[in-house]
Amino acid sequence: METIIDEPTWLRRGSWFGCPLIGVALGAGIYGVATWAVTVTWFPMQKPFQALLEIPKPWGLAGLLVLGLIAGWLFAAVWAEQRLIVTVAPGSVRLQRGKKKRRIEAQLTAVFKDDKELVLLGAEGKELVREKTDLSETVLEKGFTGHGFPWHDEPPAER
C-alpha cells in the first residue's frame, strides 16, 4: 500500500482552465490600457500602445486575446512540469518532478518541511533530499507518519 501526495485534483485540473482564462483577461486588459494610455499626454511609452491600436479592428484585440491564451497554457504547462509528487510506501519514498524521478530506500531518521522545502535525513542526520514544494505540511506529515517515517515539525538539532 502506498500514499500519493500531490496537489489537489481541483487545482491540477483547474490550472489548465484558469491560467488561460487569466491570460485572456490580461490580454483584454492590455488592450484597454492601450486605449486609455493614448488619450493621456503624461503616460510614458505611448508609441507601443499607439502601434497596437493601429492594427485594424478587431485583429489587435483578437491577437492579444490569443497571445494571452497561449501564455496561460504555457504557464499551466510549466506549473505542471515543476509540481512535486511524493509517493510514500513502507521502506521507500519516490519523488517525481516532471519526467525526473527519484527513489529513496535508505533508513530515514527525520522528515520535515523547512520553509518551502521537503527534507529527508538519512543515517547520522545526513541530508538525502531537499526538494522545493508547495504541498501542504499537514498532508505530508500524515502521509509519512502513516508509513512509519519520523516526521518533525522543525529541523532536528545538529549533532
69-92 pLDDT, tens digit each: 999 999 999 999 999 999 999 999
Residue with cell 529527508: 120
Cβ neighbours of residue 39 closer than 8 Å, sequence gap 6 or more: none
pTM: 0.79
Q: What cell was used for 22?
A: 487569466
Positive or negative: CA dihedral 114, 116, 118, 122: negative
pLDDT at 159 over 70: no
State residue 155's pLDDT score. Answer: 84
Between CA 13 and CA 55 the distance in angstroms is 35
State residue 111's pLDDT score. Answer: 96
Region 42-58: mean pLDDT is 92
Percent of the chain with pLDDT over 70: 99
Region 55-70: mean pLDDT is 95
